[in-house]
Amino acid sequence: MPIYAYKCSACGHAADEMQKVSDAPLTVCPSCGQAAYAKQLSAAGFALKGTGWYATDFKGGGKPAETKAEPPSPACGTGACPACN
């Protein structure tokens, strides 16, 4: 279940509320009772997702080059190594 950061613009009360995606967003502040409670669009959450995707992409692109450098030594002596032939 996703957790949303809520903040009241009237009294400044802030809390993380666990809600189903299908739940209606909260509007009434549990602290002061005013309808000034609003979901905060957390930039941190989006940034984490963004860097996560990029990190995966870079790792996926970098690993094949690293593993390619290794095979020649185990292949030595089998006649398949281009360095031995």
- Tell me how far, at minimum, the Cβ of 30 lies from Zn ion, in Å: 8
- Tell me how far, at minimum, the Cβ of 5 lies from Zn ion, in Å: 14
C-alpha to C-alpha distance for 78 and 73, rounded to whole angstroms = 10
Tokens 């009237």 found at:
10
Q: Considering the rule CB under 5 A, would residue 8 count as an interface residue with Zn ion? A: yes
C-alpha to C-alpha distance for 24 and 40, rounded to whole angstroms = 14
Q: What are phi and psi of 18, to 5 degrees?
A: -85, 120
Do 17 and 30 meet the contact criterion of CB atoms below 8 Å apart? no
Q: Considering the rule CB under 5 A, would residue 13 count as an interface residue with Zn ion? A: yes
Select from 3, 14, 28, 32 the one that contacts Zn ion (CB under 5 A). 32
- Tell me how far, at minimum, the Cβ of 28 lies from Zn ion, in Å: 9
List contacts with Zn ion (CB under 5 A). 8, 10-11, 13, 29, 31-32
